[in-house]
Amino acid sequence: MPAHFHSARITVVSQGVAAGSMAKFYLDGEPLTQTLTLPGLYAVIFHSYITLEHASLISAGDFGSTPYQFAKDIMRSPQGALILVAAAGNVNGVLDDRKVQNALERAGATMARAFRDGGSYALAGVVGGHALAETVVVDGISAAALEVPAFQSILPEMVRAEESRRFVDLGLIEAGSGAH
């Protein structure tokens, strides 16, 4: 079946403790999430299409799930799923957890083991593939931001025009919402 290609600009921002303690995700310049200020590691997982309806937000840390559950959610994501990850503030050892490191490496991460609590970390990766972009700042003073200017997703041609407009007009994902 012929495919329709949609190009999406992805931005992931992570700020460590001294840089402001926040994480935020953008798609085509529009906020995909609210500003996430509770300390922790956050991930947006696109389970199939790059739309709000096919995304879920997960977190691990003091106010999120356990590192084990965070890793499990990523490991259960289908081959080819797009995963965006950002640390906000002090993640209290979440990125030191071997299961979390292995899950991120499944999405192409190569720098997660260099992260230190209080620093900044951002990843855009593909499950079973490679990192589209990844950055880590260990000093905690500087923010880590990455942009993937034209991520190509392949969609069935039968996607209606009104549905394809949702790729730009996403609205916001709230913690605990989205497809699972």
Which H or E run includes 162?
Answer: helix 161-164
Residue type, 160: R
The per-type count for the chain, helices as H runs and strands as E runs, is 3, 9
Residues in the chain: 180
pLDDT digits (tens, 9 = 90+) for 25-80: 998 888 988 999 999 999 999 877 776 667 889 899 877 789 999 999 999 998 88
| pLDDT recorded at residue 154 | 43
The mean predicted confidence, pLDDT, of the chain is 78
With cut-offs at 50, 70 and 90, classify the pLDDT of residue 173: very low
Give the tokens for residue 157: 């041609």
pLDDT beyond 50 at 151 = yes
* Helix locations, 7-160, DSSP H: 67-75, 98-106
Q: Quick one: which H or E segment has residue 27?
A: strand 22-27
**Of the candidates 112, 153, 150, which has an alpha carbon nearest to the alpha carbon of residue 14?**
112
- What is the pLDDT confidence band of residue 180, given thresholds at 50, 70 and 90? very low
pLDDT at site 153:
54
- Tokens in use for 105? 């490496």
CA distance 45 to 57: 7
Confidence of residue 20 (pLDDT cuts 50, 70, 90): confident
